[in-house]
Amino acid sequence: MLVTRFAAAFRRYFPDLLGRRVVVGISGGSDSVALLRLLVTTRQELGVEPLAAHVHHHLRGEEAEGDRSFCEQLATSLAVPFALRHLDPRPPRGVSPEGWWRQERYRLLEEVRQECGGVAVATAHTRDDQAETVLLKVLRGAGPRGVAGVRRRVGAVVRPLLDFRREELRQWLATLAQGWREDVSNTQDRRPRVLVRQEVLPALCRHWPAAVEHLAALAEMLAEDEEVLAALLAQHGTFPTLRGGVPLEGVRSLPPALQRRWLLAVAARLPLGEPPSRRQLDQFLQLLAGGQPAAVDLGRRWVIRRRGEVLELSPPPLAPFAPVAVVPPSQVTLPGGFQARLGVSRPERAGWRVFLSRRCEGSSLAWRSRAPGERLPTTRTSLSAALARAGVPAAWRRGWPVLAADGTMIWAPGVGVAPGWEGGPGGVVAELEEPWQGLDR
């Protein structure tokens, strides 16, 4: 029976979640509806207390509003708490929309988790999703980390349905007379995943009925291999930061399999749309051997380059941007993917953090890039030179975010707070998170 299998799998893979609060990301589709209903059905057995969280994307007009209404009514009917979050569908300049929506969706679900005291965010990825992901990664020339597909657990995110087929979940919902929402775009557009779901995978299954199971099993085996190799690499590898490179010889001396994983580990910390492809991994091995190319673009203009006997990581250039007005408490995403917080704290992810005087609450506040020729108010030192001494990459200095009050800079992250604007622990916390920090999904 499906419910019995679900309970057994949950106990096996997530024993630490038993008896705890878990946030369930629910879109209204059959997979997420099934996940929520399974957790409700097994509530006495597992002790898990689900909270349904829906992220409104504001992309499909009345249809999206219908999704929200359905999810809220479902949660109410099941006596499950419901949380609604709204996503700004406009990605920052230079960021792919799909990657942006995914990142923001997880950020908002994590926000709900922290607010409700939950221990995990559960998403409804199925075995079919896993098979689709493996096929897409292989066809796009992904490396082993990409082909390993959807992980069962990454940080606080868990996927309890990876052992279940979409069709069996729908059949179970039918026995409950439980409906769900259909996203019309999943059948009408020609995105690669839709093509694989509607045409490629069904064609494979007609000839090889166990194709989905085999693809999912391959992903699980590769994921296990990746864990072992990552542990070995953690013992023997050193990694570059934006403040400094690493000796080339230390990476070149690793076996080729660990050289590839070294690059994958570096890329995993960056806001990339995809892990490095097989072609990029091959280019990196040529780079290590001293040949061409001397630099490999990992995507979105993040570059690993050989400079003499050092491997350096370079971020994409950050262009100056228009002021972004804020009122505390606030969290905004600035151009380039920087997360800027005021009166909101996530110290485990903040690269730069200060306390400001409460007088800023009565000022007109805005995040902006530094002005050309701008200087520090105390020493009259060039802000550009001060940022260089703080280790800010040259590619970011022109557009480096600063916080201004009534048009005057009061905090330059990495440099300092303007005189008269310092605050103690009771002041207003200000944080800047660089786009490569805390990216673990």
What class does CATH assign to 1-221?
alpha beta
Q: Per-residue pLDDT tens for 333-391?
A: 898 888 999 998 887 776 899 999 999 888 999 999 998 888 876 667 789 999 998 88
Distance, in Å, from the CA atom of 142 to the CA atom of 280, rounded to the nearest integer, reads 9
Helix (H, G, I), strand (E, B) or coil at 297: strand
Q: Per-residue pLDDT tens for 235-278?
A: 777 889 888 899 999 999 988 988 998 998 888 878 787 788 88
More confident residue, 229 or 209: 209
Q: Which pLDDT value is given to residue 85?
A: 95
Q: What is the enclosing helix (H) or strand (E) of 416? A: strand 416-417
β-pair type (428-433, 339-342): antiparallel
Is residue 98 pLDDT above 80, yes or no? no
If 0-12 CB within 10 Å is exposed, 13-18 middle and 19+ buried, where does residue 108 land?
buried
More confident residue, 188 or 307: 307
Query: pLDDT band at residue 441, thresholds of 50, 70 and 90?
Result: very low
Q: Which pLDDT value is given to residue 437?
A: 58
CATH code, residues 242-314: 3.30.465
Is residue 93 pLDDT above 70, yes or no? no
Average of per-residue pLDDT across 119-146: 92
Q: Which pLDDT value is given to residue 275?
A: 83
Is residue 439 pLDDT above 50, yes or no? no
Q: Per-residue pLDDT tens for 214-228?
A: 999 999 999 998 888
DSSP 87: -
Q: Which pLDDT value is given to residue 172?
A: 97
Q: Which pLDDT value is given to residue 378?
A: 65
User: Which pairs count as long-range contacts for 195-204, CB under 8 Å and 24+ apart, including other chains?
Assistant: 196/132, 196/135, 196/136, 197/128, 197/132, 200/135, 201/128, 201/131, 201/132, 201/135
Domain assignments of the chain as residue spans, ordered by start: 1-221, 242-314, 324-433
Q: Per-residue pLDDT tens for 143-181?
A: 787 888 999 998 899 999 999 999 999 999 999 999 999
Q: In this structure, are residues 355 and 429 in contact, taking their beta carbons and an 8 Å threshold?
A: yes
More confident residue, 394 or 100: 394
Average pLDDT taken over every residue of the chain: 90
Q: What is the enclosing helix (H) or strand (E) of 352? A: strand 352-356
Neighbouring C-beta atoms of residue 291, cutoff 10 Å: 11
Q: In this structure, are residues 6 and 36 in contact, taking their beta carbons and an 8 Å threshold?
A: no
Is residue 125 pLDDT above 70, yes or no? yes
Q: In this structure, are residues 111 and 87 in contact, taking their beta carbons and an 8 Å threshold?
A: no
Q: Which pLDDT value is given to residue 440?
A: 34
